[in-house]
Amino acid sequence: MKDRYIADIRSGCCAVYLKSRKGDTNGCHQYDDRNIWFSSDGAKYVEGPDGGHWTLPRRTIRACRKAARQANRPWSKWQEAQG
């Protein structure tokens, strides 16, 4: 079976890379060579009573998932989607 691209959505970033490379690093990092797509666009650190955490806006999460779906499409359909 062909290796598939996955959307790795974390609390402050998201990336798209091959599923077989999921264990390469702990987390998603902008500088990873495995990424074909990365974003931390709109990430915010929110303070709370038990400490803080990172959040991502829905538009960034949707864009990450869309990039993974498109990467798994046959090349001709990927080209069509790019316009």
Residue 16 in any domain: the answer is yes
CA distance 28 to 39: 10
- Whether 64 maps to a domain, the answer reads yes
pTM comes to: 0.81
Residue 8 neighbours by CB distance under 10 Å: 21
Decide: 55 and 12 in contact? Cβ < 8 Å. yes
Nearest-angstrom CA–CA distance, 28 and 73 = 23
Question: Is 43 contained in some domain?
Answer: yes
- Parts of the chain with a pLDDT under 70: 1, 76-83
Domain, as residue range, for 51: 5-74
Amino acid letter, 5:
Y
Q: Is residue 79 part of a domain?
A: no
Question: What's the pLDDT tens digit per position in 41-63?
Answer: 999 999 988 889 999 999 999 99
Number of domains in the chain: 1
In whole angstroms, what is the distance from residue 21 CA to residue 28 CA?
Answer: 11
- Does some domain include residue 81? no
Q: What is the pLDDT, as a whole number, of residue 11?
A: 86
- Asked whether residue 11 is assigned to any structural domain, the reply reads yes
